[in-house]
Amino acid sequence: MRTCRGFVLALSLLAALSACGVTAPRGNEGYADLDALPGPDADTTIDISLGPTLLGLAARLVDDDPATRALLQSLRGVRIKVYEIEEDSQGVASELDRMGAELEQEGWERVIQVREQQGKTTQMLVKISGDKVAGLTVLATDSVAVTLVNVLGPLQPEMFGRAIAALDAP
């Protein structure tokens, strides 16, 4: 009986935290389904989901950079998944291409695609809503890992220059 009560309490707490913005909201138009990748050749090593509450707390900690503070306050969520590739990196790269194509079918627009000789690929897609960018998704892989990033919220075009520079993409 005590174990059951603890389980119910934990589920209630998780539901309350999800509702108050601790995790990235699925209902947001900038949300991208990043759960379709796992297969026999990829193991999740990192799975992070931050909602507006935690991003707002992080914004309060940024004292010396008003632009970063404003960005963190405007975001609705940030999701990051990293998968370690065990064997078939080409198969996983194909799955990543399939994910990008599915996102395009859901209204995402591919703005960058980089393919390098060593099997490294990077795709950046944006979701446009009206005249604003509602979300940004980056799908990247190399021979050892896949990194998926989904940023939800109104993004300004000038942020893309900074994002591209941070990725060190050509």
Bigger pLDDT: 25 or 4?
Answer: 25
Predicted confidence band of residue 105 (pLDDT cuts 50, 70, 90): very high
Tokens representing residue 40 in the block = 């026999």
Unique residue bearing structure tokens 């193991």: 43
What pLDDT is stored for residue 151 in this prediction?
93
Q: Where is mean pLDDT largest: 137-141, 157-161, 166-170? A: 137-141
Predicted confidence band of residue 160 (pLDDT cuts 50, 70, 90): low
Q: Which residues pair with 113 in a beta bridge?
A: 123
Q: Which amino acid is at 41?
A: D
